[in-house]
Amino acid sequence: MNVENGVHDAHYFVPAPSRWPIVGSIALFCMAMGAAFAMNSVGAGKWLLIAGFAILLWMIVGWFGDVIKEAQAGDYGLQVDHSLRWGMSWFIFSEVMFFAAFFGALFYTRVISVPEIGYFSDTHDLLWSSFQAVWPAATGPKVDAYTAMEAFGLPAINTAILLTSGATLTWAHWGLVEGRRGQLKLGLAITVLLGCLFLTFQAIEYHHAWTEMGLNLGSGAYGATFFMLTGFHGMHVLVGTIMLSTMLGRALKGHFTKEHHFGFEAAAWYWHFVDVVWLILFVFVYWL
């Protein structure tokens, strides 16, 4: 991208007034109110939350539908294309920072606060004399016994699955840029399947942790960071899978050309980002 001089279309596409943003705002408002009420056991909260989520889905379908229509109509020139690339890059950067908050919490807890409670002060003698400053078994007066998750079982298989999916997605992209539509569709379909497989395995892992290992959100600082990091990652895999499924649907309908397929690329960037987060997560949450 030409940062220094910019890229100039004669006419940059400015979309018409749209109802989708306000629909999205209403949806998020309902979800926020609904969640706040539901968490405090106010009866209507749950329904408000569900209604908000339904409105949000409607908005997402409608809004992206408009974007796809505009892309198909050829509204997005070179400069718009560059804007989309910048926009997606910065969005992924914001996602990186979101995960950074939780990784920061993990590192801080492991490197600073647990040792500090255990070795460097006598505080725990007064509060909980049997506290042991080891990771992952950081226990406390309010924590039931649990077993930590092993890295080299399902999580290692999931690592292989995600890495493979990154490769199949790139293979699909090669198919697209070289005009082999069959390879594009097959590659995307395999990637989506691998995404679903990952999610299934994670669901099995969670179920196993919850029912047989005594590992849940309340399992001390370990359980909190474990479920928060892997849970938000899983949510991102879900979103990525939905994005790629959409791209598969578009590919089947004949969308995308060799030169113009930023929708596909954006979804691929997102998928690779999710992949990288998993690798860091596998090393620091599961393995070390």
Partner 1 sequence: MNAATKALHPGESVGEQVHGHTHDHAHDDAHHGAQEGWRRWVYATNHKDIGTLYLWFSFAMFLVGGVMALGIRAELFQPGLQFWQPEFFNQLTTLHGVIMVFGAIMPAFTGLANWMLPLMIGAPDMAFARMNNWSFWLLPPAAALLLISLFVPGGAAAGGWTLYPPLSIQAGMGMDFAIFAIHLLGISSIMGSINIVTTILNMRAPGMTLLKMPMFAWTMLVTAYLLIAVAPVLAGAVTMLLTDRHFGTHFFKAAGGGDPILFQHIFWIFGHPEVYIMALPAFGVVSQILPTFARKPLFGYVSMVYAVCAIGILSFMVWGHHMFAVGFPATAQLFFMFMTMLIAVPTGVKVFNWIATMWQGEMTFETPMLFAIGFLCLFTIGGFSGLVLALAPVDIALHATYYVVGHFHYVLVAGALFSLFGAAYYWLPKWTGYMYSEFWGKVHFWWSMIAFNITFFPMHFLGLAGMPRRIPDYPLQFTTFNSMASVGAFLFGTAQILFLINVIRTIRGGVGPAPARPWDGGHTLEWEVASPAPHHTWETPPDEATVVAGLRLQGLEHS
183 interacts with partner 1 by CB under 8 A: no
In the complex with partner 1, which residue's Cβ is closer, 19 or 153? 19
Q: Which stretch binds partner 1 (CB under 8 A): 28-36, 197-205, 267-275, 276-284?
A: 28-36
- The dihedral built from the CA positions of residue 264, 163, 270 and 207, taken in this order, carries a sign that is positive
Q: Which stretch binds partner 1 (CB under 8 A): 182-190, 201-209, 220-228, 276-284?
A: 220-228
Provide the 3-class DSSP secondary structure of residue 142.
coil
33 interacts with partner 1 by CB under 8 A: yes
Q: Which stretch binds partner 1 (CB under 8 A): 15-23, 146-154, 180-188, 274-282?
A: 15-23
Euclidean distance between CA atoms 219 and 202, whole angstroms: 18
Euclidean distance between CA atoms 34 and 71, whole angstroms: 35
Buried b (16+ CB within 10 A) or exposed e, 61-95: eebeeebbeebeeeebbebbbbbbeeebeeebeeb
Residues 70-129 that bind partner 1 (CB under 8 A): 70-83, 86-87, 90-91, 93-95, 97-102, 104-105, 108-109, 112-114, 116-117, 123, 127-128
25 interacts with partner 1 by CB under 8 A: yes
Euclidean distance between CA atoms 91 and 85, whole angstroms: 10
Minimal distance in Å, beta carbon 49 to partner 1?
Answer: 11
Pattern of binders to partner 1 over 221-260, x per CB under 8 A? xxxxx-xx-------------------------xxxx-xx
Task: Supply angle C-alpha 230, 236, 242, rounded to 5.
Answer: 140
160 interacts with partner 1 by CB under 8 A: no
Whether a cis peptide bond, with omega within 30° of 0, leads into 136 is: yes
Tell me 259's DSSP state. S
Minimal distance in Å, beta carbon 250 to partner 1?
Answer: 9
Q: Which stretch binds partner 1 (CB under 8 A): 1-9, 149-157, 184-192, 278-286?
A: 1-9
8 A C-beta contact, residue 162 and residue 192:
no
3 interacts with partner 1 by CB under 8 A: yes
17 interacts with partner 1 by CB under 8 A: yes
Tell me 217's DSSP state. T
In the complex with partner 1, which residue's Cβ is closer, 180 or 255? 255
61 interacts with partner 1 by CB under 8 A: no
Task: Supply angle C-alpha 215, 158, 154, rounded to 5.
Answer: 45
Euclidean distance between CA atoms 163 and 159, whole angstroms: 6
8 A C-beta contact, residue 69 and residue 261:
no
The residue whose two tokens read 């928060």 is 228
166 interacts with partner 1 by CB under 8 A: no
Minimal distance in Å, beta carbon 140 to partner 1?
Answer: 4
40 interacts with partner 1 by CB under 8 A: yes
Question: By rule CB under 8 A, what count of residues binds partner 1?
Answer: 103
Q: Which stretch binds partner 1 (CB under 8 A): 63-71, 163-171, 177-185, 273-281?
A: 63-71
